Each structure stands twice: as structure tokens, then as C-alpha cells.
Amino acid sequence: MRKITQKKAQMGIENAPAIVLIVGLTFLTLATVAFIGEKYGNTLDVDNSFFQVVNETLTTVTENGEYFEANRLETPVCEIYAITNSSDGILVPTTNYTQTNCFVAFSGPIGHFNNSDWNVSYNVSFSEHTVASNTTDDLQTNISDNTSIAGIILTINLIGIVLTILIGVFLGLRRTRI
């Protein structure tokens, strides 16, 4: 009968340092990719994409304000060139609203334009995602969704390194005494 230690597919304690090293390098590579992706992922976007919006309807604009549809884009910059009242087409004077990028709020005296629908025409420039930046964003999302698993595996890996060192020290001491 063959001994268990003679099986070819079996791994012994002498394989532990190599396995721990491979797992450690894998996590180091993953952490490096995550850091680079998070730090430089937005540089892959195409900057200064531009389009014009004519008569986007904002419903019941009040002092609380309304966001433009363009606000959903990546880093948009909006410039209003005309606002009209939806019901009668009268131009809303610039003294009756306050614009903050892709957001507008009523700021004039209470009256005709407050709490009414507005048609806003504006130019917007923004950063457009590319295939490379979408891939980087997806990678970032997947890594951030699995950080707890990575932390557990990394902790087990560190425990494995410590145990490998301790076992190596004790086996070394045992061999020298015999």
C-alpha cells in the first residue's frame, strides 16, 4: 500500500511560501490597478464635448429651483442664453432668476414668472465617457463592491505568511537538534 505522502497531487508545507507569495502578488496587482484606475480614470474621458438645448421645459420654477437635463452628464457646464415663460412666451429677465451651472432658481419679485413653467435654452459642454473610461469605471465599481471579500482573503494571506515563517522556524530548529 502507498503512503499518503507519496501521492503526486498532494501539496506539503514546503509549497506554502510559494502559494502565499502568488496570492500576495495577485492582491498587490489588484490594488495597484484599483489605485491607478481611481486616480487616472477620468483622464480617459473626451473633454469639451458640446451641444445646444433649445426650449427645455422646466416645470413650476420657484425659489427652490430646477436642474436641467444636462446636469446628468459628466461634469457639465451650462450657459443660459434665453428663458421664456412657457404659457405666454414672454422672455424672463435675468434679474428674475439665478443660475448656478445647470441649475436655475426664481429670484425676482413675486409675480408673473414665479411658480410657472419655463422654457430654457442653453449651451452645455461636458466630458464624454470613452470605452476605456467606462471599463475603468466598471472595474472600480466591481472592486469596491467586493472589498470585504478582498480584505478577508488578504487577512488570511497575512496569517498564512506568519504561520509559514513560524513553521519554518520551528521545523528548522527541530532539524538542527536531531
pLDDT in tens, 47-80: 677 888 999 998 888 888 899 998 888 788 899 9
CA 51 to chain centre: 25
For the chain, the 3-state helix, strand and coil shares in percent, each to the nearest 5, are 50, 30, 25
The structure's pTM equals 0.50
pLDDT of residue 44: 61
Which of 121, 53, 59 has the alpha carbon at shortest distance from 87?
59
Q: How far apart (Å, rounded) are the C-alpha atoms in residues 157 and 163?
A: 10
Cβ atoms 117, 57 nearer than 8 A: yes
Range ranked top by mean pLDDT from 39-43, 164-168, 171-175: 164-168
Amino acid of residue 128: E
pLDDT of residue 122: 94
Q: How confident is the model over 42-49, as a mean pLDDT? A: 65
Q: Which residues partner with 82 through β-bridges?
A: 121
Distance in angstroms between the alpha carbons of the first and the last residue of the chain: 29
pLDDT of residue 50: 83
Which of 106, 115, 122, 117 has the alpha carbon at shortest distance from 70?
122
The 10 Å Cβ neighbour count of residue 122 is: 20
Checking if the pLDDT of 3 tops 60, the result is no
Domain boundaries, the chain: 4-43+132-177, 46-128
